[in-house]
Chain A
Amino acid sequence: MNRHRKFIVGGAVIACALAYMIYAGVTQSAVYFVTPGELRAAPVPGKAYRLGGMVVPGSLRWEPRTLDLSFTLSDGTATVPIRHKGTPPDLFGEGRGAVVEGSWVADGYFRATLIMAKHSEEYKAPHDASAAGYKELIKTLRGDGR
């Protein structure tokens, strides 16, 4: 009896956790982000979106004193202007991929609450391509590196 109850409770916990994850996965992750073109097609003001695209070169404005950040995301066909207050992650930059969370504002821009950088699967050695990794690392440990 006791064994059976443990079995049922444990099974129920696992089933609930799985059901939730699959639910969250299918509803949010199957379309993890929308593209600027998809958002432009039917923007709903106030609705929470995740929007992904490339940061258009030349569009990035950053005011360190007020933390006002603005840029444009593009998918090659449509663009969406983004406004954000905060510090972007290190890998965020013009000509790179980004995914932002936030909502469409009826005034005609996207107010982002979270900025995420999307990096490519390419990894490159620094330009000299020599095994300078160790020296670089020591430099960083001493605090005079980047």
Chain B
Amino acid sequence: MVRVLGAVTVVALAAGLVAGLGLAPREATQGNVQRIMYLHVPSVWVAYLAFAVVFVASIAYLAKRAEAADQLAHASAEVGVLFTGLTIATGSIWGKPTWGTWWTWDARLTSVSILFVMYLGYLLLRGMIEDRERGARYAAVLGIVAAFNIPLVHFSVTWWRTLHQPPSLMKPGPGTMPPVIVATLLVNFVAFSLLYAYFVAKRVRLLRREAEATS
């Protein structure tokens, strides 16, 4: 089952790569550097998704005290941190040639840094408490609290003056991108979401085995 998911993910990622490099046009203003968007935006989408899953799984854990919910939250947070890191890295690489700087402390970049550090802290917290039940409980509380960063990151560009441009997708009003760019983004959204599911499935299985081995 997980193996099939892995194979589908590879195919989807390959399709995303072909779409991003071949199907999508060279953007009129930015040129080829705009193609980083096909990694950058799906990465942050997966980060949002991952931390939303942490939020739901944490509530489920506190309500039911099911170990499976805790393992899901743990795995999802790890993958979310990875993709937040990828978002920051690709954004920085995109920022240098277009904005003229690798980094600036505007509201978007600051809020995404806070998001990154909070979930790093979440993983650190998990690693520090040896008592499993207590650790899971503390982590669940932090997993719920930290989720309030997600809307902060997403709306930072509309709430404050920033260097980062406002969103082109997931916003009200008419689209600001031609259909071919939207389609390419969608292919990569699907591919990255599959990759997320694959990583989480693998990690949850490993966590379950670990729990079985130590109990």
Contact = CB atoms under 8 A, between A and B. Distances in A.
A133 B22 contact: yes
28 contacts: A6-B128, A10-B125, A18-B117, A25-B111, A25-B114, A29-B105, A32-B162, A32-B163, A52-B161, A90-B100, A116-B100, A116-B104, A121-B165, A121-B167, A122-B177, A123-B34, A123-B178, A125-B28, A126-B26, A126-B28, A127-B28, A129-B178, A133-B23, A133-B25, A134-B21, A136-B26, A137-B32, A140-B32
Interface string A122-146: 1111110111111011001000001
Nearest to A52: B161
Contacts of A39: none
Interface string A30-72: 1111000000000000000000100000000000000000000
Interface residues of A, number: 48
Contacts of B31: 90, 146
A134 B105 contact: no
B107 A117 contact: no
Interface residues of B, number: 49
Contacts of A3: 128-130
A116 B163 contact: yes
Given A123-B30, A133-B25, A136-B26, 14 more contacts: A32-B106, A89-B99, A89-B101, A90-B100, A116-B104, A117-B98, A118-B163, A120-B165, A123-B29, A129-B178, A133-B26, A137-B26, A137-B32, A140-B32
B23 A121 contact: no
A35 to B, nearest CB: 9
A53 to B, nearest CB: 11
A121 B24 CA distance: 17
Interface in B1-43: 21-32, 34, 37
A55 B66 CA distance: 58
A119 B117 contact: no
Given A88-B100, A123-B181, A129 B25 contact: yes
Contact of A91 (B29, B113, B129): B29
Contacts of B129: 3, 7
A16 B30 CA distance: 38
A126 to B, nearest CB: 5
B163 A124 contact: no
